[in-house]
Chain A
Amino acid sequence: MQSALTAKALSCRRGDRWLFEALDLSLDAGEALYLTGPNGAGKTSLMRMLAGLLRPSPTLQGMMGTIAWSGSVAMLDERPALDMALPLGEALAFWRDIDGAQDVPFERLGIAPLLDVPVRYLSTGQKKRAALARMMGQGARNWLLDEPLNGLDVAGVALIEELVAEHCARGGTAIVTSHQPIRLPGARQLDIGTQAL
């Protein structure tokens, strides 16, 4: 199997507290990883580190962690990164201009009737679906989903489960954190709470 992610010796230090130390992580193409752990365990920090937004802290031995992805990375977190004042269609069109045209199933995401509505009028769950459309529009091979179920209804949860499964079936990878139960068939599970120093 082709390796999609190889991360070695990742550490994260916040103040004088180690969230995790010397964490090794690897993902093959088509694999999903379910990241669990209590609040404050460092799930979001690990996600941002894997996204390249946060630099790994040097370990006590002075070792720096390394992260190598094959293929592009997309991230979905609690911020939709869509212009609140713009109609949803235009807000998504901005990202389409950057990412290039991709097939995004607006109907399936349930936002097809909302494309004329300004983003700020959307509910929490609708914003989440819109952010999902933005993320899928990136056409990235690797998905980082940080609490993707927040604010979603039952149908939305099922939709995310299906989309992740299809994405992995096409050879993509997904790393998912969630406090709500999510069914990810065949996914590996990593409890980050056990990695604390």
Chain B
Amino acid sequence: MSQPLLAILRRDVSRLLRGSQHGAWGSGIALPILFFLAVAIIFPFAIGPDPRLLGRVGGGVIWVAALLAAILPLDRLVEPDIEAGFFDQWALRGIAEEGLIAIRILAHWLSFAPALMLAALPAGALLGLGGDGLRMVELGLLAGTPGLAALGVMVAAITAGLKGGAALAGLLVIPLAVPILIFGAGALASGGASGIALCGAASLVLVALAPFAGAGAVRAGR
């Protein structure tokens, strides 16, 4: 990767991990992760402490919580940098928007996926997932989160500059994330690797498409 792109990746990761206020490392992602854990914690309260029931639905709950947590940071993925003029300045330097969006997807994934997979461990314990179930959840998250990151950045680029864009972004992400959710959470029920593979495939399609769709949206918004 060339020097400018590396500098942009460094900035993107730092901005997403530290938040726009440039706080401590992790403060930018703390809220979605705490939200994810909070959903896992209140769920047993809502359906009761039956370990068999929890063990059966626990994997699905983790997936839904992960999806909701991935939606939380959408409004600060792309829009602030368009408003501040960063995308215009990059364009003046001949840096293609496709590359910028691809870098941002990578940065978004780096900032939330490892933390989410780590938080899935205590969440899995709270929901009484067994070792096998937890392994499938972690593998599924590994395969599915790149797609969620790509989807998040793409939708954030499309809704940047719209009034009420954040709420609209959440609404757009959920239906498009359904394939990842079906195969990722479905792998838990079937217990096979085929679900993970399909989840990864759906994820890769999104990763491949998102830079072009996102770049088109950024250019059209000028």
Chain A positions near chain B (C-beta within 8 angstroms): 48, 51-54, 72-75, 77, 79-86, 94-95, 97-99, 118, 134, 138
- How far is A77 from B88 in the complex, measured between Cα atoms in Å? 10
- The answer to whether A98 touches B93 (Cβ under 8 A) is yes
Least Cβ distance of A79 to chain B in Å?
Answer: 3
- How far is A80 from B84 in the complex, measured between Cα atoms in Å? 7
CB contacts (< 8 Å) of A97 on chain B: these are 3-4, 6-7
- How far is A138 from B83 in the complex, measured between Cα atoms in Å? 20
- The answer to whether A79 touches B84 (Cβ under 8 A) is yes
User: Can you list 9 A-B contacts with CB-CB less than 8 angstroms, sorted by A residue number?
Assistant: A51-B88, A54-B222, A72-B93, A79-B85, A84-B84, A85-B21, A85-B22, A95-B89, A98-B8
- How far is A54 from B6 in the complex, measured between Cα atoms in Å? 27
Dominant secondary structure of chain B at its interface with chain A: helix
Q: B7 contacts which of A52, A77, A98 (Cβ < 8 Å)?
A: A98
- How far is A138 from B222 in the complex, measured between Cα atoms in Å? 22
- The answer to whether B91 touches A79 (Cβ under 8 A) is no
- The answer to whether A81 touches B84 (Cβ under 8 A) is yes
Least Cβ distance of B216 to chain A in Å?
Answer: 13
Least Cβ distance of B87 to chain A in Å?
Answer: 9
Least Cβ distance of B168 to chain A in Å?
Answer: 24
Query: Is B104 in the interface zone, CB < 8 Å from A?
Result: no
- The answer to whether A77 touches B85 (Cβ under 8 A) is yes
Least Cβ distance of A184 to chain B in Å?
Answer: 22
A94-B11, A98-B7, A98-B8 given; A83·B22 CB < 8 A: yes
Query: Is B47 in the interface zone, CB < 8 Å from A?
Result: no
CB contacts (< 8 Å) of B86 on chain A: these are 81
Least Cβ distance of B15 to chain A in Å?
Answer: 7
A79-B84, A85-B22, A94-B7 given; A53·B91 CB < 8 A: yes
CB contacts (< 8 Å) of A94 on chain B: these are 7, 11
14 further contact pairs, Cβ within 8 A, besides A53-B91, A97-B3, A99-B93: A53-B92, A54-B222, A72-B93, A74-B92, A79-B83, A83-B11, A83-B84, A85-B21, A94-B7, A94-B11, A95-B89, A97-B7, A98-B93, A118-B22
Dominant secondary structure of chain A at its interface with chain B: loop
CB contacts (< 8 Å) of B194 on chain A: these are none
Least Cβ distance of A73 to chain B in Å?
Answer: 6
- The answer to whether A75 touches B92 (Cβ under 8 A) is yes
Chain B 157-193: CB-based contact to A (< 8 A → 1; otherwise 0): 0000000000000000000000000000000000000
Q: A52 contacts which of B6, B21, B85, B91 (Cβ < 8 Å)?
A: B91
A77-B85, A81-B85 given; A138·B22 CB < 8 A: no
A77-B85, A79-B85, A98-B8 given; A85·B93 CB < 8 A: no
A48-B222, A53-B88, A73-B92 given; A83·B15 CB < 8 A: yes
- How far is A72 from B91 in the complex, measured between Cα atoms in Å? 12
Q: Which residues of chain B (77-115) have a CB below 8 Å from chain A?
A: 83-86, 88-89, 91-93
- The answer to whether B22 touches A86 (Cβ under 8 A) is yes
- The answer to whether A85 touches B4 (Cβ under 8 A) is no
CB contacts (< 8 Å) of B93 on chain A: these are 72, 98-99, 138
- How far is A74 from B93 in the complex, measured between Cα atoms in Å? 8
CB contacts (< 8 Å) of A118 on chain B: these are 22
- How far is A95 from B84 in the complex, measured between Cα atoms in Å? 14
CB contacts (< 8 Å) of B21 on chain A: these are 85
CB contacts (< 8 Å) of B20 on chain A: these are 84-85
Q: Which residues of chain B (28-67) have a CB below 8 Å from chain A?
A: none
Count chain B CB atoms within 10 A of each CB in A52, A73, A81, A84 and give the residue with the most.
A81
CB nearest neighbor in B for A135: B89
- How far is A83 from B3 in the complex, measured between Cα atoms in Å? 19
Least Cβ distance of A78 to chain B in Å?
Answer: 8
- How far is A118 from B15 in the complex, measured between Cα atoms in Å? 15
- How far is A52 from B92 in the complex, measured between Cα atoms in Å? 7
CB contacts (< 8 Å) of B88 on chain A: these are 48, 51, 53, 75, 77, 79, 81
